[in-house]
Amino acid sequence: MSRYEPSQSEAKWQAAWDAAHIFEARRDPAKPKYYVLEMFPYPSGRIHMGHVRNYTMGDVVARYKMSCGFSVLHPMGWDAFGMPAENAAMERGGHPKDWTYGNIADMRGQMKPLGLSIDWSREFATCDPEYYGQQQAMFLDMLDAGLVYRKNAVVNWDPVDMTVLANEQVIDGKGWRSGAQVERKELTQWFFRISDYAGELLDALDRLRDWPEKVRLMQANWIGKSRGLQFAFSTVDAPEGFDRLEVYTTRPDTLMGASFAAISPDHPLARHLERHNPKIADFVAECRRIGTTEEALEKAEKRGMDTGIRVRHPMDEAWELPVYIANFILMDYGTGAIFGCPAHDARDHEFATKYGLPIEPVFAPLEGDYPAGEYVPLKSEAVRYVRGFAGDEVQTGEDAVAAAIAFCEANGIGHGVTNYRLRDWGLSRQRYWGCPIPVVHCATCGVVPEKKENLPVRLPDDVTFDQPGNPLDRHPTWRDCTCPKCGGAARRETDTMDTFVDSSWYYARFTSPHAATPTDAAEADYWMNVDQYIGGIEHAILHLLYSRFFARAMHKTGHLPAKAIEPFDALFTQGMVTHEIYMTRDSQGRPVYHLPEDVENGVLKATGETVEIIPSAKMSKSKKNVVDPMNIIRDFGADTARWFVMSDSPPERDVEWTAAGAEAANKFLARVWRIANDIAEGAGGDAAADLALRKAAHKAIDEITKSIDGFAFNKAVAKIYELANTLSKSAASNEARRETMRVMAQLMGPMVPHLAEDVWALMGGHGFVVQAPWPKADPALLVDDTVVLPIQINGKRRSELTVPKDMPATEVEKLALADETVIKVLAGQPPKKLIVVPGRIINVVI
């Protein structure tokens, strides 16, 4: 008998699949289509276990659907623009392009041995001019359609990377990649009008039924819809042109509790005042140093400065409120100005306490005492209004807000406004390694779009990274060009696009990766939408929200059909691959981390020193708790790696990689191999055991099919173990065992495709197992003639009864009452109640 040698057979099958072109997606009108997509990787140069898990999940789905008769599209590409390439060029020299394409070649070389059913003929990288040129064409169409515009904006400036960051890319006041403290800077930036779609992007979430509830909720919170009142205070002693101050509030019902007004340091009034008042200028400058992020503002102490200006309360001309500049007011939200009601808002309370401002309650709890500090009940909670002006005395906050808006509108005090937290998407980046924004700046014509026939605007190759900032900006010739409109001398836009733009439409490009237009209508119409999208939860907000917007923008500009405005029908977010961390300490007590391969039985292989074991965490290079998939493939084969990441943990949960688990996975595959060889050698057989084995096989078909359909791959794996155990113990005829083994090869095929092909061929299967029709469970074999019914007494299992499966309940009752244990317990008394759930259980109540 030959040994299980994955290194040889895996390469052999991969070559055979390639030669037969079976994974090349074809538009086939005779078949239903299925588009399965995993979030494409950034080409860092090495694949990691997270990739293996992600792509194996997609591969399981793709191969399963292929067997089920679908025409499957399962593509792969590279999210190839971005700063790491420039950082590498800065640190090590060389060119981002060489670095990136080198990494892509390396990673492709590591992915191919996994045996994924990918249509590699569709592969592209977002840094290919053929791709980003089409992206530029769409940018021009979107510019034309009014979906892109330029404005001056206060932006997050990363002083290390010398680039602008989106608010979403600022974490803890620091750049998400560089970690540098973010500063405020004003620049002219390009923006997508995603906020125009805020309402629609929010409403459409309800229709994404096959998305995780969690992701939809996160997006809804991010979009942040609120209903409130916008109105104007008239001002007293304000500079010319500022006789009104527009404010927005979500709690107009607390208007009678107002004790001050406050404006953002970026509010036009604050900007005016800082020019004339050095103290205000100092204060505003200090506020700006905090940064633009909400989180930074949150963490800062509430501070303000009285401007000396006052506003008149809209309900009472004589009632005047002071106007402060306050560091916690965001210019981007509402009007950048508020009124403060310290009795019912924690921030306002802190502020009022600090500056000695009045705190007047507007409402009180229905029961109990008025709490110390601010009183902020849920809006859905009913309270008693003591200083209300609209609606009932006792009402919920929600009702009070609605009544207050209606009252104010009727009395000419402002109007109801729906606001969103979502802001427009700033896409300009002052970087080299990105898609150039295809416009030129002409002294006479202003901003002029490049002509489409001049696309792509290619990145120049002759650049250096010996100084920070954008090499395009200091390029001697690239930025000089002629104006497409007047033909005069002009300058190219040197900003490039946020890499989230690249990943916002790659799924659409995969439907026609070589087309001369961004998409091909017939192809997009056939393949869209993505039936199953798989990726990490870390993209729950940005990437997915941007993609949803972009699909709408592509539809508006004629690049996607209407049905594709929600591009991902189903979304699955997989968990991480984790590993224990092994640590020792150096002579100064500083932690030293060790790779799992250097540790055995809790000690360092090299020195015998005992390591401290820190519970599992996401694999990360800094903690050295990483396992290189290439080593696993070398030692055990790709099927073992694939089998391991599919077993044990539910796919949405984290899975812990253990060496023991990997070995166990490998042992099992070798065992399947042995069982198959055993059968091939003609061993065994008594036909009397055939039916039992066939029943087990068909139950497995039924359960595994359901498990794969429901993304419960760990359960499918468990069922395969069960079937293997049954098969290896079965005394059935060789023919029946051969048939069962063929079924098992098919059921295992999505997870361990190479072994499955080997077994399939060995068992006399025709063609590739991946192309064989998925087995169908015979309903007749799923039911047993007899069932074992547990007998409970008062809900506790005490005995059991074996009866024909369709025995009437009355018969079962008789048998139950004749049961020895039941007779003993009843001791001659009749039961209080006898419950028979046919085919399930019997419960005797005494």
Partner RNA sequence: GCGGGCGUGGCGAAAUGGUAGACGCAUGGGACUUAAACUCCCUCGGGCGCAAGCCCAUGCCGGUUCGAGUCCGGCCGCCCGCACCA
- Cβ-in-10-Å burial (0-12, 13-18, 19+) of 150 comes to middle
CA atoms of 334 and 753, how far apart (whole Å): 56
Nearer CB in complex with RNA: 435/717: 717
Residue 725 binds RNA (CB under 7 A): yes
For position 329 contacting RNA by CB under 7 A, the verdict is yes
Closest to RNA by CB, 349 or 492: 349
Min dist. Cβ of residue 71 to RNA (A): 31
Q: Which is nearer to RNA, 369 or 820 (CB)?
A: 820
Q: Does 57 bind RNA (CB under 7 A)?
A: no
What minimum distance in Å lies between the beta carbon of 707 and RNA? Answer: 8
| Binding piece for RNA, criterion CB under 7 A, among 28-36, 106-114, 125-133, 651-659 | 651-659
SS3 labels along 365-397: CCCCCCCCCCCCCCCCCEEEECCCCCCCCEEEH
Using rule CB under 7 A, residue 737 touches RNA: no
Q: Does 660 bind RNA (CB under 7 A)?
A: yes
Of residues 308 and 710, the one with the C-beta less far from RNA:
710
Q: From the CB of 250, what's the least distance to RNA, in Å?
A: 3
Query: Considering the rule CB under 7 A, would residue 805 count as an interface residue with RNA?
Result: no
Element (H, E) at 592: strand 591-594
Cα–Cα distance measured from residue 809 to residue 807, given in angstroms and rounded to the nearest whole number:
6
Work out how close the CB of 189 gets to RNA at its nearest, in angstroms, rounded to a whole number: 19
Residue 794 makes contact with RNA by CB under 7 A = yes
User: Is 649 a residue that touches RNA (CB under 7 A)?
Assistant: yes
Containing 837, the helix (H) or strand (E) segment is: strand 833-837
In this chain, which stretch among 10-18, 128-136, 341-349, 463-471 interacts with RNA, using CB under 7 A? Answer: 341-349
Question: Which residues, including other chains, have CB under 8 Å from residue 70's CB and lie 6 or more apart?
Answer: 31, 32, 33, 34
- Across the beta sheet with 480-482, the strand order is 446-449, 439-442, 489-492, 480-482
Q: What are phi and psi of 523, to 5 degrees?
A: -65, -45
* Distance of closest approach, residue 246 Cβ to RNA, in angstroms: 11
Binding mask 518-537 for RNA (x = CB under 7 A): -------------------x
How many residues touch RNA under the rule CB under 7 A: the total is 83
Contact 269, 238 (CB under 8 A): yes
Q: Is 800 in the site for RNA (CB under 7 A)?
A: yes
Closest distance between RNA and the C-beta of residue 263, in Å?
A: 9
What's the half-sphere exposure (Cβ side, CA atoms, 13 Å) at 234? 8
Least Å distance, CB 57 to RNA, is 15
**Complex with RNA: residue 380 or 607, whichever CB lies closer:** 380
Taking the complex as a whole, the smallest distance from the CB of residue 231 to RNA amounts, in Å, to: 11
Among 320, 663, 678, 813, which residue interacts with RNA (rule: CB under 7 A)? 663
State how far the alpha carbon of 577 is from the alpha carbons of 110, 215, 536, 571, 635, in Å. 18, 20, 11, 19, 19
Note whether 115 binds RNA by CB under 7 A.
no
d(CA 501, CA 503): 5
Out of 614, 650, 689, 731, the residue judged to bind RNA by CB under 7 A: 650
> Nearer to RNA by C-beta: 143 or 697?
697
The correct pick among 108, 185, 288, 671 for binding RNA (CB under 7 A) is: 671
Pairing mode of beta strands 577-585, 655-656: parallel
Nearest to RNA of 26, 667 (CB atom): 667
What is the C-alpha separation between 170 and 175, in angstroms, rounded? 5
What string of DSSP letters covers 156-191? EEETTTTEEE-GGGEETTEETTT-PBPEEEEEEEEE
By beta-carbon proximity to RNA, the closer residue of 305 and 490 is 305
Helix-, strand-, coil-residue percentages of the chain, each rounded to 5? 40, 25, 35
Q: Is 715 one of the binding residues for RNA (CB under 7 A)?
A: yes
Residue from 360, 656, 678, 813 in contact with RNA (CB under 7 A): 656
Q: Does 785 bind RNA (CB under 7 A)?
A: no
Smallest gap, in angstroms, from Cβ of residue 232 to RNA? 15
What are residue 54's phi and psi, to 5 degrees? -60, -50
Task: Return the residues of window 196-225 that contact RNA according to CB under 7 A.
Answer: 213-214, 217-218, 221-222, 224
Q: Is residue 729 close enough to count as binding RNA by CB under 7 A?
A: yes
Listed in sequence order, the residues at least 6 apart from 318 whose beta carbon sits closer than 8 Å to its beta carbon are 312
Span 274-303, contacts to RNA by CB under 7 A: 294-295, 297-298, 300-302
Query: What binding mask, one character per residue, do residues 815-844 give for RNA by CB under 7 A, x or -?
Result: ------x-----------x-x-x--xx-x-
Window of 49-57, 242-250, 409-417, 503-511 that interacts with RNA by CB under 7 A: 242-250
Toward RNA, which CB reaches closer, 58 or 397? 397
Task: Give the HSE-up count for residue 556: Cα atoms under 13 Å, Cβ half-sphere.
Answer: 18
What part of residues 401-430 is at the interface with RNA (CB under 7 A)? 419, 421
SS3 (DSSP) at 71? strand
CA distance 798 to 821: 7
DSSP string, 608-644: -PBPEEEEEEE--TTTT----HHHHHHHH-HHHHHHH
Query: Is 95 or 184 the residue whose CB approaches RNA more closely?
Result: 184
713 binds RNA (CB under 7 A): no
Cβ distance 689 to 729 under 8 Å? no
Residue from 242, 333, 389, 593 binding RNA (CB under 7 A): 333
| Closest to 138 in 3D by CA, of 153, 123, 128, 148 | 148
- Asked if 347 touches RNA (CB under 7 A), the answer is yes
Strand-pair category, 489-492 with 496-497 = unpaired
Q: State which of positions 221-240 bind RNA (CB under 7 A).
A: 221-222, 224, 226, 228
Distance in Å, CB of 400 to RNA, minimum: 13
Instruction: Indicate whether 642 belongs to the interface with RNA (CB under 7 A).
Output: no
Tell me which stretch binds RNA (CB under 7 A): 505-513, 677-685, 748-756, 787-795: 787-795
For residues 657 and 707, the answer to whether their CB atoms sit within 8 Å is: no
Stretch that binds RNA, among 141-149, 685-693, 714-722, 737-745 (CB under 7 A): 714-722
CB of 327 to RNA, least distance (A): 8
Site for RNA in 428-457 (CB under 7 A): none
Rounded to the nearest whole angstrom, what is the least distance from the CB of residue 336 to RNA in the complex?
A: 6
586 is a contact residue toward RNA (CB under 7 A):
no
Q: Which of 510, 483, 720 is nearest to 25 (CA)?
A: 510
Distances (CA, A) of 239 to 230, 267, 307, 317, 390: 22, 14, 11, 19, 34
User: Using the rule CB under 7 A, which residue among 647, 730, 740, 746 binds RNA?
Assistant: 647
For residues 156 and 647, which CB has a smaller minimum distance to RNA in the complex? 647
Q: Which stretch binds RNA (CB under 7 A): 19-27, 139-147, 468-476, 716-724?
A: 716-724
Q: What minimum distance in Å lies between the beta carbon of 841 and RNA? A: 4
Return the sign of the alpha-carbon dihedral for residues 737, 739, 741, 744: negative
**Phi then psi dihedrals of residue 574, to 5 deg:** -90, 155
- Report the residue from 180, 515, 541, 604 that binds RNA according to the rule CB under 7 A: 541
CB of residue 731 vs RNA: minimum separation in angstroms? 13
List the one residue from 407, 668, 711, 768 that touches RNA (CB under 7 A): 668
On the CB side of 789, how many CA atoms lie within 13 Å of its CA?
A: 29
Tell me the C-alpha distance between 392 and 389, whole Å. Answer: 9
